[in-house]
Structure 1
Amino acid sequence: MEIFKFFDAYSIRARLFPAIIAAAPALAALALMISWKTFGLSNMIASLGLLVMLFAIADFSRARGRKIESKIYEEQGGIPSIVMFRRNDQTIDSHSKERYREFLAGMLKVAMPSPEEEHENQSAADVFYGQCGVWLRQNTRNSKVFPILFGENVTYGFRRNLLGVKHFALLLNVLVVAICILMLWHMSWDIEAPLGSKTTLVLIVAVAHAAYMIFAVNRNAVFDASRAYGRELILSCESFLVQSKTPARKTPARKSVSKIESSSPPPGQT
């Protein structure tokens, strides 16, 4: 579809899809009630309105999702990628996390908090873990190199943004249902008529949509996705550790290089 050209892969799945789901009853009504046999001025206006509406809802869902995000983290004890890096959290084994801390401390060129320092001042240690998370997010943006992490990030973004637009979606749902009921009432509830059958179909979509938004879209689903993403973000350290241990392949042009140079890390690694 042409509309997808305005979005990148993340935006399509984590921002546009929540907007489409939020507006599903309205989109169903628009698709069924307007005749698409000929493309006239009304169809052009409807298509333009649809594009603008999806952009607006996608932007609104992202803004609302980010606002809800901080509240969810506060309720659940903090940002998952920070919480899981703490020494008192057992989500990831302690030996692996110690290797990750040493590696990230070297990358950041800062001192790693000792167990005693962390025990005495968890907030100060969390500042370090927050810096680790920032470094990892900035260096794992290549979705082809980190496909699992990208997938977890998309799932989290999708759930967060959909939760952000939940109330708006339900309100829009109620509005569409009210309009459909009024239309059926004016048609004396003749659901066998072409327009009546289309209106009934929109009502079915609205009921299914409301059930999904009420029961499937919630804070726990968002937090579960954020923990899955946070865990994968920390585990991405393994990729960097493997790279740092992989020796550079010698080329003919490098055979005469001194031993000191040949023992240095390859370009882009520290």
Structure 2
Amino acid sequence: MNNPLDAYTMKARLVPAVIAGAPAFAFAAIFVSWGSLGVTHLIVATALTVLFAAFADIARRRGKAIEPKLIERMGGLPTTTTLRHRDDTYDDDTRAGFHAFIAAKLGKPAPTASEEAADPAAVDSYYARGATWLRENTRDAKKFDILLNENISYGFRRNLLGLKLPGFVLNALIVAICLAIFWRRWPVDLSNTFDAKLLAVVVIAVLHAIYLAVFVTEAGVFEGAKTYARQLLLCTQSPHLSGAPKPCSTAARMPARRGGAKTEAKIQEQ
């Protein structure tokens, strides 16, 4: 994408909103005649465009609203926590490479393990400044396209999680309305197109609720956040970040973790 803002808005904000509102869109569609195009369809298309823009903003707001609690449950932003000496995400040599790069950019030596133990809050602030420098200098979508994609992935997961509860409420409302219509039209005739479509909406709402319950989880957001952090730090190896000392050669390796080594993934984030 030439415009990263458009890519992010479409994939990380609008798509979660559309997914969360899918049963409502399906319900509304059965009341629109699709036999021929006319002024009504133009009005509907215009209204949907406006609604989609509003839904995208709602998705962002909901995602931002739940983010502080998510960060708290992760023990802090992964871009900060994985730089700590006491964190075992990276081996010592890899972490030292990241520290050396950040120190050169901030113009201040990286904290030692003893300094971190003595004042963890101040050291976390140092790591956060380093991560901020990296984010601000890796916004070029052409140079850091994989990074942008992973940022979109995290934003999508976070925003969809933020819409999970409203999605459940919307599903319940749609099912209740459909059942009320069935009750008014009883006995139901599934050979009738309207009744068949209404039943399809109920099925969509139920399957949608199952999807939200099973696949939209905090664990998925945590995974996206950690992938973001890992690739952001790996950007210290990028030739596009000129003027910085080359971090140690081990910085590009996937870190060793407890329980076994992990294979390297080609991931980048912004």
Band of TM-score, shorter chain: 0.7 to 0.9
State the partner residue of 2:190.
191
Aligned to 1:260: none
Q: What is residue 128 of structure 1 aligned with on the other side?
A: 126
CA distance in 1, matches of 2:140, 2:40: 42
| Structure with the higher fraction of residues in helix conformation | 1
TM-score normalized by the length of structure 1:
0.83
Report the secondary structure of 1:85's partner residue. Answer: coil
1:136-155 C-alpha deviation (Å, 9 max, x unpaired): 11111123322332222111
Asked whether the equivalents of residues 184 and 190 of structure 1 are also in contact (C-alpha less than 8 Å), the reply is no
**1:113-192 equivalent positions in 2, closer than 5 A:** 113-188=111-186, 189-192=188-191
**1: CA distance between counterparts of 2:53 and 2:163?**
13
Give the drift of 1:47.
2.0
Instruction: Give the aligned partner of residue 230 of structure 1.
Output: 229
The CA deviation at 1:241 is 8.7
Deviation at 1:30, TM superposition (A): 2.2
Structure 1, gaps ≥5 residues long: 247-270
With normalisation by structure 2, the TM-score equals 0.83
Residues 55 and 219 from structure 1, CA distance in 2 versus in 1: closer, same or farther, beyond 3 angstroms?
same
Q: Any residues of structure 2 matched to 1:24-63 within 5 Å, and which?
A: 24-63=22-61
State the Cα deviation string for residues 221-242 of structure 1 (Å, max 9, x = none).
1112111111111111111498
Query: 1:221 and 1:121 mapped to 2: Cα distance?
Result: 32
**How much has 1:74 moved relative to structure 2?**
0.9
Contact 1:82-1:133 within 8 A present in 2 as well: yes
Q: How far apart, in 2, do the equivalents of 1:178 and 1:242 lie?
A: 56
Q: CA–CA distance in 2 between the matches of 1:226 and 1:28?
A: 32
Aligned partner of 1:101 in structure 2 is 99
Contiguous gaps of at least 5 residues in structure 2? 247-270
State the AA in 2 paired with 1:199.
L
Q: Partner residue of 2:214?
A: 215
One-letter identity of the residue aligned with 1:153: N
* Alpha-carbon distance between aligned partners in 2 of 1:119 and 1:179, rounded to the nearest angstrom: 58
Instruction: Tell me the number of residue pairs that the alignment of Structure 1 and Structure 2 aligns.
Output: 241
> What root-mean-square deviation, in Å, do the aligned CA atoms of Structure 1 and Structure 2 show?
2.1
- Give distance in 2, aligned partners of 1:241 and 1:80: 23
Alignment partner of 2:238: what SS?
A: helix
Q: Tell me, what secondary structure is at the counterpart of 2:47?
A: helix
Moved more, 33-42 or 217-226: 33-42
Superposition pairs of residues 227-266 of structure 1, within 5 angstroms: 227-240=226-239
Residue 267 of structure 1 corresponds to which residue in structure 2? Answer: none
SS in 2 for 1:33: coil
Aligned to 1:21: 19
Provide Cα deviations, 1:40-80, integer angstroms capped at 9, x if missing partner: 34323322332222222211121121121111111221111
